[in-house]
Amino acid sequence: MGFGPGSLLYESYGDRAGFLFAPATGLMQLMYPALGKGVEEHSAFYEEPFERLVRSVPQILGMIFDGDTAGEQAHRVRDFHRDIKGTMPDGERYHALDPETFFWAHATFVDVAFRVDDFIERRMSRTVREAYYAETVDWWRMYGMTMRVVPRTYGDFLEYWDHHVENVLEVTPAAQAFIDYVNAPWRMEQPWVPKPLWQVASRVGGIPFRDVSVGCLPAQLRERCGFGWNPAQAAGHAAFMASVRLAWPHVPERVRMLPRARAAYRRQGRTGFDAAMARVATRPGPALAQEA
């Protein structure tokens, strides 16, 4: 199983606009208790958060863009998590490959797809969103894990997402460390950046980085995490996002699209996202997720 020209995921998911939402997405992952505990105990995230992002995202994108080898890539991503396990503070065991935990991480990548669509105003219809969600279910199926935890439809996924934001996510120690970093990034020096340069760059860019990150969080999570958010910050965030939205269509594709996507387009070609939307808008509804 894989994706290729004409697939909604293949035609769109390599857009760098998703990185605008990456800090908020990362924080929401860390706020899932078992996932946060795994990062706390098994990851070098706090010493090198950007290097970890650069390492992990392309591997996951390979499941969409690597053609015939995408299935092997999915198994590599899954198996990387086999030894990430331990004990929660209440004594309950956790494992990164627990289906509920692993699916939450996947769900945050699904959420980004729809956030990017809203941001760049492609305005997918409900029918297209249902088809897009069905493709993300196929994306999950590539891991070879149970389908039991997967919401059956796009509407079910929205209910699943809202439930977790409202009732499951919490400020774990891992999330708190990330919150502290967002509030004062100059305190977390990065080994790949000379110290004097990091001190200047992190202070100059730190506050804008914080406001973009915080502005992309659901409002209830901003409050839960203790982020201040006043009208001036909200207005500044809205103006920044509007400016990027206006400029983004004029950015060359070689800059907009990630290397893994560009390589796939050179190798396999593409139809374009508009053609992919037109194709699914008139076909029968997508199949529902079934138990594996």
Mean pLDDT of 182-202: 74
User: In angstroms, rounded to a whole number, what is the distance separating the alpha carbons of residues 129 and 23?
Assistant: 24
Q: Is 90 exceeded by the pLDDT of residue 192?
A: no
Q: Is 50 exceeded by the pLDDT of residue 6?
A: yes
User: In angstroms, rounded to a whole number, what is the distance separating the alpha carbons of residues 175 and 159?
Assistant: 23
pLDDT of residue 292: 45
pLDDT of residue 152: 95
Sign of CA dihedral 39, 99, 21, 179: negative
User: In angstroms, rounded to a whole number, what is the distance separating the alpha carbons of residues 170 and 185?
Assistant: 22
Domain ranges of the chain: 8-281
Mean pLDDT of 74-89: 90
* Contact by Cβ (8 Å): 49, 174: no
The number of residues making up the chain comes to 292
- Angle at the Cα of 208 from the Cα atoms of 205 and 210, rounded to 5 degrees: 105
* Contact by Cβ (8 Å): 255, 16: yes
Closest CA to 157 of 178, 182, 140, 142: 140
pTM for the full model?
Answer: 0.89
* Contact by Cβ (8 Å): 146, 103: no
The per-residue pLDDT of the chain, averaged, comes to 87
* Contact by Cβ (8 Å): 182, 209: yes
Return the exposure string of 55-90: e unless at least 16 CB atoms fall within 10 Å of the residue's CB, then b: eebeebbbbbbbbeebbebbeebbeebeebbeeeee
Q: Is 80 exceeded by the pLDDT of residue 195?
A: no
Q: Which element (helix H / strand E) includes 85?
A: strand 85-87
- What would the pLDDT profile of 127-136 be if each residue is shown by its tens digit? 999 999 999 9
Mean pLDDT of 98-117: 94
* Contact by Cβ (8 Å): 97, 78: yes
- What would the pLDDT profile of 137-189 be if each residue is shown by its tens digit? 999 999 999 999 999 999 999 999 999 999 999 999 999 988 988 887 777 76
Closest CA to 164 of 92, 100, 97: 100
% of the chain residues with pLDDT over 70: 88
